[in-house]
Amino acid sequence: MTENLTARRLARSLVACLALSCSAAFSQPIQLHPDNGRYFLYRGKPVVLMGSTEHYGALINLDFDYIRYLDETRACGLNLVRIFTGTYRENAGAFNIPDNTLSPLSGRSVAPWKRTATAGAADGGNRFDLGQWDAAYFHRLRDFTSEASKRGIVVELTFFSSIYDDTLWALSPMNAANHINGVGAGGRIAAFSPTGDLLPFQKALARKCATELKDFDNVIYEICNEPYQAGISKTWENQIIDELVASEQGFPN
């Protein structure tokens, strides 16, 4: 009995030591290599990121099996995936993409913001409240990032995207027709104004995501996909960057 108890205690101690050593090994998040900015420094080694990253809706589309996707990414020797937060969505058939992950079926999507009891969102669901976060969404975001981390895969999280036409704008949770907050009525170009009424909510999203992912070492951020397509200003982008930097000041790494 004493030997079994000692063995169990030793096993627990070894597990604890392993956990601490892994935590120490991965204590620094991915960053530009200090000696050569063409490379990243990731888990103590110089790294070039390579991926097949077109499944932008892997996070928001509940029918997408991201475990299978991450397994395949690793099996192919790749180390990068790219996902959109859900501020941008596409309709079925957009850009002639079959099985488009950014076009989830009705009722089969998650977004950063909580749905309300008010009907009328363009995707067939209830409207959003941009002042309330959706817990299921952030659970999925953390789990996705955790599973990627286990496989040594870096997650590129893209906060926003140029919205290329009014059909796509009609689907965005930022569109005034899709939420109850009375902002975002100026259209898809004004949505990215550095003085616009959506800006506080956009900043809050960046801060929330950074806070949720602060314990992971395998995350990089993209402020906006293809900002040049919609004339999105550097001033607007810089405000989101400043919010990210400010939010990370209190983080351990």
89 falls within a domain: yes
| Assigned domain for 13 exists | no
Assigned token pair, 126: 């209830």
Helical packing angle, 234-248 and 199-212, nearest 10°: 40
CA 128 – CA 117 distance, rounded (Å) = 9
Q: Is residue 168 part of a domain?
A: yes
Split at pLDDT 50, 70, 90, the class of 176 is very high
* pLDDT of 22 strictly over 70: no
d(CA 117, CA 132): 13
pLDDT, tens digit, 9 for 90 and up, residues 157-170: 999 999 999 999 99
48-72 tens-digit pLDDT: 999 988 899 999 999 999 999 999 9
Question: How many domains is the chain partitioned into structurally?
Answer: 1
List Cβ neighbours of 181 (8 Å cut-off, separation of 6 or more).
129, 130, 131, 201
- pLDDT, residue 250, reads 78
Beta-carbon count within 10 A of 104 CB: 21
The average confidence (pLDDT) of the chain is 90
Report pLDDT for 253.
Answer: 61
Asked, for residue 43, whether it belongs to a domain, the answer is no
Domain range enclosing 135: 49-248
Question: Which CATH number does the domain housing residue 78 bear?
Answer: 3.20.20.80
Q: Is 169 part of any domain?
A: yes
Classify residue 60: in a domain, yes or no.
yes
The answer as to whether 91 is a domain residue is: yes
Residue 32 placed within a domain: no
**Given this model, what pLDDT does residue 17 score?**
34
Q: What are phi and psi of 27, to 5 degrees?
A: -70, -25
